[in-house]
Structure 1
Amino acid sequence: MAKRVAVIGAGAAGLCAVRHLSASPEIFSVVCYELGPTVGGTWNYTDRTGKDENGLPIQSSMYKNLRTNLPKEVMAFPDFPFNTCLPSYIVHQDVLEYLKSYADQYNLYKYIKLNTMVTEVHSRQSTGSKELWDVSYCPSADRSQVQTQEFDAVMVCNGHYSLPLYPTIPGMEEFRGQVVHSHDYRKPDEFRGQTVVCLGAAASGQDIAIDVSHQAKMVYLSHNKSPLQTCLPENVQQKPGIAKLGTHSVTFLNGEEAELDVLLLCTGYHYHFHFLSSDCQVQISDERISPLYKHLVHIDHPTMAFVGIPKTICPFPQFDVQVRFFVSSLCGQFTLPSREEMISDTERDFQRRLSEGLPPRYAHVLGPWQWGYNDELAELAHIQLIPRVVQKLYDYVHETRVRDIARYKDCNYEITSEEDFKAV
């Protein structure tokens, strides 16, 4: 019998999982559950914030003017390029159309249950040592009609850009201005003529600060990194982190004080798996998910995988490697290490990060480590490596971004071989 695999989420990671599973119908039978009315996950822009028409939290964190901060030439799945007529830095609508085209190309819709909410996932042992999974689900619009289906494996692909992380800031309760998390940021027009603090200077914080500056009177980009060595718009100033808030003011860590209308929190997101029952034995502590081998495979339940957990990465190519790695383990093309070896490998990686001064919440942040990680997965599973040009262009773009955050998206690129690219 074919192995029955449940895929939770039909964003980029989930579509990639369905594509590779459905390519071997003699080995796998796949069902994908998607909460929304269409595929694409977070790339489905909506003006709405808070709750959707079914009373469920809005999943998307897209804002109206978002353009990708990576060129399409490195964003694509390895064998499915973007339309070459598009510029390198594309708008979110183009990414959504790309994902829909991907689903069409590989005939994925027939495996996907849209408008379907996964309510619970249970682990249970069948006869012998084989583990089975019970996945309970219901229509998004009528959560009283719950059904349950049995599976041999589960791939969790629900993303991690929907549950905002709110920091604790002294004076927050007394602050009388507006507090908005980037998850709910949509248009700069809403901040016309106002003084805004963007707290957080990761990629989205930087991009949103630039976007807001087109309408705001003043934007303070507040963060605890070394000062960004880049040109910024005249009305954007860098400041250190926030010491405290007043009723209509902010005091930065250097003691400087400024009047404030809006606090815009670009402070990231929580990992969140509300549908996992306690018998799934997944722990999240300080944004570290345990126990995961290679940020992917559940060590104690190796027929469960979490695709797309790492941060600061080139996402779609990595999703593809992660999916192919896990699918290869499910069909027996290679064997995962022993439980003890997986635990040791995971702890060794975590301790390396701590020894380099990174806090535990950076457990899944890869950055420059992503390329070695991708190659290791590919080599372990005997699957094709990501072409080296993806790393070369990704690193080059990072350098241009660091120098000129406001204009680096004006550049365009062309892949000329698996090893090289050129600016056009």
Structure 2
Amino acid sequence: MSQVTGQLKRVCFIGGGVSRVTSIKACLEEGMSLPTGQHKRVCIIGGGVSGLSSIKACLEEGLRPVCFEQHDHVGGQWHFSENMETGTDSLCRMFSAVVTNTSKKMTEFSDFPMRKDFPTFIPARKINSYIQDYAEHFDLKKYVQYGIRVDDVSKADDFSQSGQWKVTYTYAKEISHQKTEIFDCVMVCNGIFNEQNWPHYPGLEMFQGEVTHGGNYFHCDPYKDKNVLVVGSSFSAADIAVDLSRVAQNTYISTRRGFWIMPRLPDGQEPWDMTLFSRPLINWLPWALRTRAWGNVLKERFNYQKFDLKPHKRFLSQSLCITDELQNKLLYGQVQAKPSISKFTSSGVTFTDGTSIEDLDAVIFATGYRLKCAFIKDSQVLPENSAEMEMYKHIFPVNIKHQTLVCINYLRVLGSVLPTSELQARVAARVFSGNLKLPRASHMKRDVAEKKSEIINQWGNCTVPKEFVYFYYEELAQLLGVKPQTWKLLVTNPSLVKKLMFGPVTPAQYRLHGPHANFDVAAQSILDT
């Protein structure tokens, strides 16, 4: 049997960025040989931000990604189109008035800066445009298969030796057409917003008005001249209440434990995340003192007690709402704060302080989501109760023999999801390719136990783990070998050193050095901060 010319050649790649990705892709298409272990097929479940960054990370490592997306588009919860109001698009979607809580430079991918004409905080439409541009720039969409629902992921029959997985899936347009394939590795990228969380209150089944979830909210027009109650203390609860107040007759927001309110520009100049996560203050001022100082400032700027919104815990130990308008809406009476709900009646609601609303038209539960991964049924891999999940660095399940299945973005971060998913995907892909070795199982389990203890001390018991982006980025960057090497730049690029030492910790800092660095693009992005 004849051998096709070129298929025995081995290729070495020097450098990173889009050139590396396109070069690896071209070599794979021509059947050329990549370094040992880099012919592995990787199943990526979900074509959102996590899925796209996982495709790119796999290509950088010479892996063969196959992405299954159940919808007809990429972008996940950030996908935005005018027909989303039909309610057929997604369980979690961005409504028309959404603006990012994190600033532009802290939100972008590490080697794909946002356009200079983008505002400091970005509307949902523009974020969707940015994600689509990212996918086009790195030619990622060709690896996505649309209209596919993954039904089951389980260990292959020879898993103990091979570490492979069986993935069973169904084509949306051909329900009877189910197929099973074997993959070397799996990246679960379906996110944490996949099952709406509905609280239970006495009498709710008797209420005659509209009852819906915040994930189904698209715009305020249907609530014109109505009395609407928003339940929750999340970002979305505040955003929906503010949006409703523009047209509703009365808008109420009910919360059990209050919440902290953080303006996007606390000092009127710098974005909150660029101030909170600046390297000098983090390195030189103890975190406890810093959070206490922030809490005192926020308490001085808003009378939480007056509006029954007093937080039950210290700053950054419970719900934080990034909002510029809620404070004024409360002061003007356009949004009215209420305590926890006691019970519903057929036409209204009673609160724990004895007050009530008698003519309520609608209730919107902005009460978040439950983390659910229905297609993994083996509790050793992923327990049904997300609070029991044990994953090294929130990526690698530690109770399986081979680290060939990972979960991307299975946590909540105080910061942006985009660069978090990207850094996780880079770590996972490098492990899959064999270029990064994880510690022994006993070490990883000990690390998981210590991390759980830290999270409980900071946040209390969480159904989904929470992290501050700076500390989490530094952990992953240390593991990956991409922390900025400032000392190397002291003579050649002092302006960049100044930004690294005294500026915010932007995602681009983790593309300056190490595997798949893109120094020129990253350096310019940092200098533009």
Q: Shorter-chain-normalised TM-score: which range? A: 0.7 to 0.9
Deviation at 1:392, TM superposition (A): 7.8
Deviations 1:69-128 (A, max 9, x none): 222222110110112112222222211121111111111122111122212111125286
Match of 1:104 in 2: 136
Deviation at 1:162, TM superposition (A): 3.4
Letter in 2 for 1:377: L
CA contact (8 A) 1:329 1:381 kept: no
Letter in 2 for 1:303: T
Larger % of strand: which? 1
Match of 1:375 in 2: 474
Deviation at 1:307, TM superposition (A): 0.5
CA contact (8 A) 1:70 1:89 kept: yes
> Whose Rg is larger?
2
C-alpha distance in 2 between matches for 1:22 and 1:289: 32
Match of 1:318 in 2: 420
C-alpha distance in 2 between matches for 1:277 and 1:284: 8
C-alpha distance in 2 between matches for 1:156 and 1:91: 27
After superposition, the Cα gap between the structure-2 partners of 1:357 and 1:150, relative to the gap in structure 1 and judged at 3 Å, is closer
1:89 counterpart = 2:144: no
Match of 1:402 in 2: none
1:20 counterpart = 2:57: yes
Match of 2:228 in 1: 196
Gaps of 5+ in 2: 1-36, 262-301, 303-325, 486-499, 508-522
After superposition, the Cα gap between the structure-2 partners of 1:204 and 1:332, relative to the gap in structure 1 and judged at 3 Å, is same
Give the 5 Å matches for 1:129-278: 129-223=161-255, 224-226=257-259, 228=261, 229=302, 231-233=327-329, 234=332, 235-259=334-358, 260-278=360-378
C-alpha distance in 2 between matches for 1:273 and 1:49: 26
Match of 1:404 in 2: none
After superposition, the Cα gap between the structure-2 partners of 1:185 and 1:358, relative to the gap in structure 1 and judged at 3 Å, is same
C-alpha distance in 2 between matches for 1:273 and 1:289: 13
C-alpha distance in 2 between matches for 1:318 and 1:168: 33
Match of 2:77 in 1: 42
Deviation at 1:45, TM superposition (A): 3.1
Letter in 2 for 1:324: R
1:304 counterpart = 2:405: yes
Deviation at 1:342, TM superposition (A): 1.6
C-alpha distance in 2 between matches for 1:50 and 1:300: 42
Deviations 1:368-421 (A, max 9, x none): x3311111111012134697855489xxxxxxxxxxxxxxxxxxxxx9973884
1:29 counterpart = 2:131: no
Q: Secondary structure at the match of 1:336?
A: coil
Deviation at 1:60, TM superposition (A): 4.1
C-alpha distance in 2 between matches for 1:91 and 1:185: 16
Q: Secondary structure at the match of 2:454?
A: helix
Letter in 1 for 2:253: L
Q: Paired residue for 1:295, among 383, 394, 412?
A: 394
C-alpha distance in 1 between matches for 2:479 and 2:186: 21
CA contact (8 A) 2:97 2:219 kept: yes
Deviation at 1:256, TM superposition (A): 1.8
1:282 counterpart = 2:396: no
Q: Secondary structure at the match of 1:284?
A: coil
CA contact (8 A) 1:297 1:304 kept: yes
Letter in 2 for 1:318: T
CA contact (8 A) 2:394 2:407 kept: yes
After superposition, the Cα gap between the structure-2 partners of 1:261 and 1:109, relative to the gap in structure 1 and judged at 3 Å, is same
C-alpha distance in 2 between matches for 1:127 and 1:218: 58
Q: Paired residue for 2:149, among 117, 122, 125?
A: 117
Match of 1:70 in 2: 102
1:330 counterpart = 2:448: no
How much is the aligned-residue C-alpha RMSD, in angstroms?
2.6
C-alpha distance in 2 between matches for 1:265 and 1:179: 8
Deviation at 1:268, TM superposition (A): 0.2
State the aligned residue count.
Answer: 390
Letter in 1 for 2:394: H
Letter in 2 for 1:136: T
Deviation at 1:279, TM superposition (A): 6.9
Q: Secondary structure at the match of 2:164?
A: strand
Deviation at 1:146, TM superposition (A): 1.2
Deviation at 1:264, TM superposition (A): 0.8
Deviation at 1:188, TM superposition (A): 0.3
Identity percentage of aligned residues = 26
C-alpha distance in 1 between matches for 2:159 and 2:398: 21
Gaps of 5+ in 1: 394-414
C-alpha distance in 2 between matches for 1:150 and 1:156: 15
Deviation at 1:289, TM superposition (A): 5.2
C-alpha distance in 1 between matches for 2:456 and 2:394: 16
CA contact (8 A) 1:165 1:270 kept: yes
CA contact (8 A) 2:506 2:526 kept: no
CA contact (8 A) 1:227 1:238 kept: no
Deviation at 1:340, TM superposition (A): 1.9
CA contact (8 A) 2:45 2:150 kept: yes
Normalised by the length of structure 2, the TM-score is 0.69
C-alpha distance in 2 between matches for 1:184 and 1:127: 40
Deviation at 1:275, TM superposition (A): 1.6
Deviations 1:280-304 (A, max 9, x none): 631132x425121121111123211
CA contact (8 A) 1:222 1:240 kept: yes
After superposition, the Cα gap between the structure-2 partners of 1:100 and 1:360, relative to the gap in structure 1 and judged at 3 Å, is closer
